[in-house]
Structure 1
Amino acid sequence: MTIAGTGCAAAPQDRTPAFHPAAPPPVTATAGPQTRAGAGAGPTVAYPWQPGRPELGVQVYWDDNPDEPVELVRAKARQIVDYVVDLEANALCVSFPFFTDTARSNAVHGGRTTPTPERLGILLDEARRSGLRVTLRPTLDERTLTAANPLDWRGTIRPGDRDAWFASYRRFLTPYLALAARTGVATVVIGTELSSLEGDPRWAELAAYARTLFGGETGYAFNWDVFVHTAVRMPVDRVGVDAYPELPLSDDASVAELAAGWHSWLDRRARGQMPSLLLYEVGAPAQDGIYRHPANPNNGGPVNEVVQQRWFAAACQMARERSLAGLYWWRVDFHAGPATVDPLRDRHESFAGRAAEQTIRDCFSGWRAVR
């Protein structure tokens, strides 16, 4: 998504609360997840995904700290997965960063905070044990881009040699595609918000290569502003959108008014039911004025949980009415202990411990009809 030239995923804040692996989030008695027996037992998905059912998902963003030992990574992974299951989700998308040096660079690469396939595999293992459908989504980090030019972001990169750029990206993706194949990942999103490169014929070559290593679904995530008018067809199995429509509504707008605004935005793409479309990101900060600019968190202002909760409720209502393939709520930070966050001090785009958290449960528990 575009946030004043940056993406939310690219700029973790310093307000992440301390992680406490000994304090797992409570499982609501009425939520329905079952508990596994044995060591390390945790809740399992009550409504597992299968073809024809919606992906009721949560986005986890993992900006890795490679100094953390494997034991701590597994404890964090287990707590995150338990929390996602407690939200009545049946799907988990893991977004993680990779990097480029400048907007005109011909190469991409991993960095210190890019989780290795081995460390990612820990989270994937825990998700699989709980029955979650898993998507992997490498996402180009924007910090070096915006440092040089605040107007640049992942959607404005301009490699001088596109052959070299796509070859570099292919090399970066290769071990993650192999990981996805080994661990039963359902979807690999091979591109996220790379607006300036959309329509390039090299995507077809990259998608074909991905399918030689990974037999699951390939995906692409459009940015919200491009999606509703683009005629580009990406050569993937599933098209989605990071959905942050800007609606001219005040903070006292009702859920019905917001849902109508969501419909009007999506009508610019197509009317009626859209059962093949995924919303890869749905989120908004808990702060005043978000309906006009839902992709722009201002973590220094006061928290307003009500506007965030209404935004989530309206997005869910629209998605169900359009029979979408599913949605993923943005976001849970891999390093944040969901049971210990302070909703008054945590970053505004978080929903943990806030009114929107229960809205997510209500959304997913009510969206359980097999199409």
Structure 2
Amino acid sequence: MNAMKRAAAVLSALAALFVAGCSSGGGDAAPPDHGSSSHPDDRKGNGMRGMTLPSWNTDDYSSPQAGIYLKQIASAGARWVVFTPTWYQDKVTDSAIRTTEETADDSSLRHIIGLAHSAGLKTMIKPHIDLVKGGDRAEIRPRDPDAWFGAYERCITHYADLATATGVEQFAVGTELAGTSQDGDHWGEVVAAVRKHYKGPLTYAANYDEYKKIPFWRDLDVIGIDAYWPLGDKATTDTARLRQAWQPIAEELAAFSAKQGRKILFTEAGYVSQKGSTTAPYSWTVSKRDGDAEQAAAYEALLATFNGKPWWAGVCWWMWDDWPDAGETAKRLAYTPHGKSAEKVLRRWWGHG
């Protein structure tokens, strides 16, 4: 999900070895494959039980609210939390990438990783690259690829070093960079460089319409997909209908996982609590009408569809609460499930209901 909050509009629309701890959701035994089962006794949720806590300012992760959010996330049944430090570039054709006042400070990132571990949560760092004036990071197509990838490698290995130093359990080498991700040679070099700095499991967070084009999945440990597939052209709270919409997608993913010899992790998935959210899960601004029930139905449908699938590595939901005074979307309409019916769905599936 494009992290540029000021652009709050539509965003970028089985391996023999697998990630230690990821397939077990942080120590939780995976249940048998019940397929379409949705009985409460089956709702222990295999795979990563993750929640994303993005940052929008330098000191978000060191703010007093950080520890509160992490306790809430753990209380909802999550076992993983994802952090998203973001660097920026001015234009899609530029080669320079830099920090800004919206980039999480390294000390704040170290601080919140420590807090997460103290709260019993495993962690993943998933760095983002965004555009200073807003826009879709998938449109980044540098005029000088060699220079851009050199700058990107410096950025990503910086966080790989930080991940190693802080005991981060998983790391993403990139997020939704569809304008560059077909460049297998350069990305192969990026992955190789990251492995010199970080020895844990690696993924890349491909957008749902990007993942089939990635040439370097076999260089990674798990396939990451930001799962914002539209599930219909009309608003609905009918969970059965949403699950039916997921079925052909699930069949495609199962086949892709088998072909690549890697499990698939939903590095992001989420729905605003707005009427019509299932028609455009990637948009912050589907409507101004309350969609609490539709958001909850979407959470239920995703978990009921994929829970127990042997090739599925879990989900990292986008996102928990916004930081005080940072949100441009009212909480009642935003992606957060906190305090909404969707949180009750998570608690049932994740054993905290």
Q: Aligned residue for 2:143?
A: 160
Q: Aligned residue for 1:55?
A: 48
Q: Aligned residue for 2:247?
A: 263
Matched, 1:354 2:340: yes
For the structure 1 residues 264 and 212, does the alpha-carbon distance in structure 2 shift closer, same or farther, using more than 3 Å as the test?
same
User: Do the aligned partners of 1:97 and 1:141 also contact (CA within 8 Å) in 2?
Assistant: yes
Q: 1:35-77: per-residue Cα shift (whole Å, max 9, x none)?
A: xxxxxxxxxxxx97149751101011111244x7xxx925222
Shift of 1:188: 1.3
Matched, 1:171 2:157: no
Matched, 1:10 2:4: yes
User: Do the aligned partners of 1:281 and 1:328 also contact (CA within 8 Å) in 2?
Assistant: yes
SS in 2 for 1:281: strand
Kindly provide the amino acid, as one letter, of the partner of residue 53 in structure 2. Answer: V
User: Do the aligned partners of 2:230 and 2:278 also contact (CA within 8 Å) in 1?
Assistant: yes
1:348 and 1:215 map into 2 onto residues whose CA distance is: 36
SS in 2 for 1:141: strand
Matched, 1:134 2:117: no
Q: Aligned residue for 1:248?
A: 232
SS in 1 for 2:318: strand
1:273 and 1:169 map into 2 onto residues whose CA distance is: 28
Q: Aligned residue for 1:116?
A: 105
Which of 245-254 and 202-211 deviates more?
245-254
SS in 2 for 1:159: coil
2:93 and 2:6 map into 1 onto residues whose CA distance is: 24
2:224 and 2:341 map into 1 onto residues whose CA distance is: 26
Q: Aligned residue for 2:265?
A: 278
Shift of 1:155: 0.9
For the structure 1 residues 316 and 336, does the alpha-carbon distance in structure 2 shift closer, same or farther, using more than 3 Å as the test?
farther
Q: 1:247-286: per-residue Cα shift (whole Å, max 9, x none)?
A: 2253335212211211222323444987711001111111
Which of 229-238 and 289-298 deviates more?
229-238
Gaps of 5+ in 1: 2-6, 15-46, 147-152
Kindly provide the amino acid, as one letter, of the partner of residue 61 in structure 1. Answer: P
For the structure 1 residues 345 and 171, does the alpha-carbon distance in structure 2 shift closer, same or farther, using more than 3 Å as the test?
closer
Q: Aligned residue for 2:210?
A: 226
User: Do the aligned partners of 1:224 and 1:241 also contact (CA within 8 Å) in 2?
Assistant: yes
Give the alignment partner of residue 291 of structure 2, picking from 296, 304, 317. Answer: 304
Gaps of 5+ in 2: 9-23, 31-46
Residue identity over aligned pairs, in percent, reads 23
1:226 and 1:83 map into 2 onto residues whose CA distance is: 32
Which of 193-202 and 82-91 deviates more?
193-202
2:256 and 2:133 map into 1 onto residues whose CA distance is: 40
Shift of 1:304: 1.6
Kindly provide the amino acid, as one letter, of the partner of residue 120 in structure 1. Answer: L
Which of 165-174 and 178-187 deviates more?
165-174
1:345 and 1:128 map into 2 onto residues whose CA distance is: 27
Q: Aligned residue for 2:39?
A: none
Matched, 1:330 2:318: yes
Aligned-residue RMSD, C-alpha = 2.8
For the structure 1 residues 269 and 326, does the alpha-carbon distance in structure 2 shift closer, same or farther, using more than 3 Å as the test?
closer
Number of equivalences? 314
Shift of 1:223: 0.3
Q: TM-score, normalised by structure 1?
A: 0.77
Pairwise mapping of residues 64-143 of structure 1 onto structure 2 (< 5 A)? 64-66=57-59, 73=62, 75-143=64-132
